Amino acid sequence: MCGIAGIVDSLSRPIEAELLRAMARPLAHRGPDHEGVWVNTDGQVQGQRPTAGLGHRRLSIIDISPSAHQPLCNEDGSVWVVTNGEIYNFPELKEELEGRGHVFRSRSDTEVLVHGYEEWGEGLLGRLRGMYAFGIWDDRRGRLLLARDRLGKKPLYYSEVDDQLLFASEIKALLAHPGVTVEVDLEALDAYLTYQYVPAPRTMFRGIRKLLPAHYLLWEGGRSRVERYWQISLTPKHSASEEELIEGIWSELREAVRCRLISDVPLGAFLSGGVDSSAVVAVMSELVDGPVKTFSIGFEDQAYDETVYARQVAERFATDHQELIVKPDAVAILPKLVWHYNEPFADSSALPCFYLAEMARREVTVVLNGDGGDEAFGGYERYFALRYSERYRHLPAWLRRGLIEPVVTRAARGNHSKVFVSKLARFLQTTSDYPQASRRYGRWLSYFSDVEKSNLYSDDFKAALGAIDAYSYFAELFSGTEDLGPVDQAIACDIAAYLPEDLLVKMDVATMAYALEARSPFLDHRLMEFAVKIPEALKVRGWTTKYLLKRALEKVLPRAWLDRPKMGFGVPLDAWFRGELGEMSRDLLLSSHALGRGYFNPQAVEALIAEHEAGKAHHGFKLWTLLILELWHQMFVDADQPLEPPGSMNGLASEKAG
C-alpha cells in the first residue's frame, strides 16, 4: 500500500527528479516508510525515445527490506514499476515465473509485476488476484502501462498536458506539476450534487481523469488508449442446491481471507458487528494463531452506535477487542476530510471511518474489513424496493396517484421524525415518476433531484451548464442488464458505480490518511464472481436481504444477530446542522465569497438552511454536500496549491474501552 506518481514525455525532454519528488510529497501519508525516484534521462536515451520518470512513497507490508523499495526494475533495468496495493497470489506467480527463468531479487509482491509484464505483457492483468494501481515503464519500447484492479479498490488519476502523460494515486500529486491548471468541470459539479461523488472517468478538475476499475491505459508513441480487461457476469446462474451453494460460499470466503493474511507487519480487523465484518472475523479466527485484533467505534447517540453488537461478536470469537466512543468535532475535522479526498466527496460516513482508521493504526498496519458483502450477496433494502416497485407500477394510475400516494405523502409531512413513512413516500412517488428502472434507481441514490437542482441553481449557472441529464449515468449502467431480474440489475449497477465510486473511495482515503492498509475479502474477484451468480431468489427472499449468506453464517453466529436491522455507518447530520455546524454553514454558504461563485440562487440556499433549522424539513445531507463543496473550493480552487495537509484532526474527545 503506497503512493505512486509518474511522468512520460513524448518529446524526449529531460524529466527532473525534483519534480517527481514534488509530486510524491503530497502522498507521504500513503507511504511514510521510504521515498524513491527514478528517471531515464541520461545521454544514451535523450532524443532517441520518450523519457520517463517514476516516483514512489512506500508503506512497507511484504518484504520490508530495502531490496523491495520502489521504483523496482528487472535484471537489466529495461522495465520499471511503481505500484500501490497488494498482489495476493504473488507466491504462485513468482514460482511460475522463476520456472520460466526469471530472477527475483526480493520477496516483494511488486516484483512479479515486472517479470509478469516481461512474460505476458498486458495478459498479466488476467492473472492477478489483488487490489492494485500500478505503472509499468518499458524502456526499450518507450511504452507505459497503467492499470487498476478489477473492482476499483486502489485509485489512479492521470492527465495529458504539453506532450506529457502524468499519473498519480491522488489529484494533489498531479497539481504539483506546473503544467496542470485548476479549472472546475461544471458537469462534474452537477453530478456531485446528484450522487455525492463525481463518477469516473470525470473528476471535478477539467483535464484530470480517473482510470476506471478493470481498465488499463496504454501510452505509446505519444498516444494513449484505454481498454477494459475484465467484466463481471451475473449469468449463468448456479444450479446447485442451497446446501451446495453454502459450502461454496465458505470455500471461497476462507480462501479470500487466507490469502489476505500475508503480511510482515501487525494485522487486525474492523468489526462493526454487522453480518459482513462478523463473517470476516469468524474466518480469521479459524486461520490465525492467537486472538485476532479487532477495532470498532461508537457514538454517544445510540441511534448511531453498534458497539454492543461488535462486542458480542468479539466475545464469541475471543478477539483482542478495542472500541472507541467518539465525540466528533465536525468543525475541526472537515478541513482534513476535504484535503484527503482531493475532490468533493459527501458521504458523511467518511468521518467515522477516519476515527476508526486512526485508532486501528496505533496497533496494526493492515486491517481486514467487510466491504463488498452487500453488493456480492444482495444486502440493501433498495434491492427489494426495486423489485416491488416494478409490481407497484402495475397498479392502476388512478389508485397510485389518486389515493395511495396522497395519503402517504400527507402522513410523511406530518411525521418528519418517522423515517419509514418518509422513505415510503419517496419510494411511491419515485416509482410513479420514473417508468424506467434505471432512472428510478438513480433517483433513490441521489441527494438533489432535478427539480431541487433547478431551484438551487442560478440562471447563469444553468446557462453555462446547458442541458444535462444526470440520470443518463444510471441508464448506461443498466444497459445490457435487460435479461436480469430487478435485484440483479441493481447489484450489477452498484458493483459498477456505488461500490468503486463511493464505498471504496471512502475506505481507501480514510485508511491511507493514516498509512493503514485495508483489505476486503468480499472484494476478492473470484468470491464476487461466485456470489453474483447465486440465483436472485436466494439473495433477497421476501424482506430478507443476503438470505443465503446469512444461512451460511448460521453455523458460526446466532440467527438473531444475523436478522437484526441493518444500521449502516452514519453520523447525526440533522442534529449537527441544528447545532455545531449550523453557524458554520451559514457563515460559509451565505458568504459573499461563496455566493459570488455564481452557482447557486442565494434565496434557495437560505431557504434550505432556514427550513432545516426550524425543523420543517431534514436537509442535513444536502447541507453537508454544499458545505463540502464550498470547503473544497476554498482549499483546491482558491488556494495556490493545497499540497500541505491542514492542522491536526485531533481535537476529538473520546473514551477508550475494551
Residue 196 Ramachandran class (φ > 0 left, ψ -120 to 50 alpha, else beta): left
**CB under 8 Å to 413, separation ≥6 — which residues?**
none
Cis peptide before 335 (omega within 30 of 0): no
Report the alpha-carbon distance of residue 137 to residue 321 in Å, rounded. Answer: 44
Q: Report the SS3 class of residue 157.
A: strand
- The strand ranges marked E within 186-274 are 209-210, 215-220, 223-228, 267-270
Angle ∠(430,375,309) on CA atoms, nearest 5: 100
Q: How far is CA 246 from CA 469, 562, 572, in A?
A: 42, 15, 37
Q: Give me the count of residues in the chain.
A: 658
Q: How many CB atoms lie within 10 A of CB 289?
A: 4
Contact 245, 277 (CB under 8 A): no
Catalytic residue among 2, 73, 259, 493: 2
Report the alpha-carbon distance of residue 366 to residue 356 in Å, rounded. Answer: 13
R_g of the chain, CA atoms, integer Å? 25
Structure-block grid coordinates of residue 217: 491505459
Closest CA relative to residue 461, chosen from 599, 596, 594: 599
- The strand ranges marked E within 471-613 are 517-519
Report the alpha-carbon distance of residue 541 to residue 545 in Å, rounded. Answer: 7
Q: How far is CA 513 from CA 325, 349, 366, in A?
A: 20, 15, 13
**CB under 8 Å to 452, separation ≥6 — which residues?**
622
Position of cell 449550523? 582
Strand-pair partners of 367: 268, 518
259 is annotated as an active-site residue: no
Q: Report the SS3 class of residue 645.
A: coil
CA torsion sign for 518, 524, 528, 531 is negative
Report the alpha-carbon distance of residue 451 to residue 446 in Å, rounded. Answer: 12
CA 28 to chain centre: 20
Contact 292, 316 (CB under 8 A): no
Position of cell 484532526? 649
Phi, psi of 390 (to 5 degrees): -65, -40
Structure-block grid coordinates of residue 528: 464476487
**CB under 8 Å to 415, separation ≥6 — which residues?**
421, 422
Position of cell 520502489? 70
Report the alpha-carbon distance of residue 346 to residue 338 in Å, rounded. Answer: 9
Strands 366-368 and 267-270 turn out to be parallel
Alpha-helix residue ranges (DSSP H) falling in 239-341? 242-259, 275-287, 307-316, 330-341
Please give the biggest Cα pair distance in the chain: 80
User: Which residues form the catalytic set?
Assistant: 2
